Amino acid sequence: MSTRLLAALLWLLHWIPFPLMRWVSMPIGLLLYATLKRRRHIGETNLRLCFPAWPPVQRAQVLRQHFCQAAHLFLAYSILYWGSAARIRRLVRVEGEEHLAAQAGQPVILLSPHFLGLDFGGVRYAMEHDGSAYLASQRGAFNEISLRIRRRFRQPLLVPRADGIRPIIRALKQGIAFYYLPDQDLGPKESIFVPFFGVPTATIPALSRIAKMSGAAVIPMIATLRGSQLVLRYEAAWDNFPSADAAADTLRMNQFIERKVLEYPSQYFWLHRRFKTRPEGEASVY
């Protein structure tokens, strides 16, 4: 699909009220659940590994809901692309701004795990603040659409991951917050194995390192779907972070993500291969 064609489709979709998008997206989500067998298998595997005590019917229900909510927010990307600033502010309500204000003038890392609303939270933050993030390239027209959405209201510093952490450290020391997505499997090269729901999980220990090098506070920032809008919630900056033990810091991060997943189990992004990299000698779980 060309960028112009996708942009035109988003223009048509953005006229649909967000609550109505939910009803439009439900049959789409259920259809995707039925037809995207490979993605469904990944989601089923992830949920089985993380919640082995859940009955299969519960895991299937959460995964179907996940597909429907993902379809809902995919339709709502049209609002991020074409909607007015006023509409986006109505769509994404902000809570906990006092935690951000408490760190005014200090370097800040915004810790944002892979929940479905993460782009909505990122755009809402960027409407009022400068920020930096690693540049995640997508395929084809979706890459151009994603870049335009990120740059609609400000020009964030987007750093290719291959450039490492030095540009991020410089930005933090200049007062530009870093929007950090911590929970991706980037392979064994720089990862350590830390439990995530009891499963040894390849995790980059960069949060501890960046916080130590920059002196930045870590403020969790998660956008979740709640009824007819999204809520972007900032939480209090972490105390006593980083410690002298990067592995313990990384475990603390994973345990925080676990607690948030338990609050919103269907909104965590279950369709990527979080457990792709296995300890030496262990077979693939997928």
Q: 68 or 148: which carries more pLDDT confidence? A: 68
238's torsion region: left (phi>0), alpha (psi -120 to 50) or beta? Answer: beta
Say whether the peptide bond before residue 242 is cis (omega within 30 degrees of 0): yes
Per domain, the residue ranges of the chain are 3-267
In sequence order, the 6+-apart residues with CB closer than 8 A to the CB of 37 are: none
In sequence order, the 6+-apart residues with CB closer than 8 A to the CB of 269 are: 114, 115, 116
pLDDT in tens, 211-244: 999 999 999 999 999 989 999 999 999 999 999 9
- Residue of 44, 69, 71, 70 whose CA lies nearest to 58: 44
What is the pTM (predicted TM-score) of this model?
0.94
CA distance 268 to 286: 18
Using the predicted structure, report yes or no on whether residue 53 has a pLDDT greater than 80: yes
pLDDT score at 140: 67
CA distance 236 to 100: 8
Across the chain, mean pLDDT equals 94
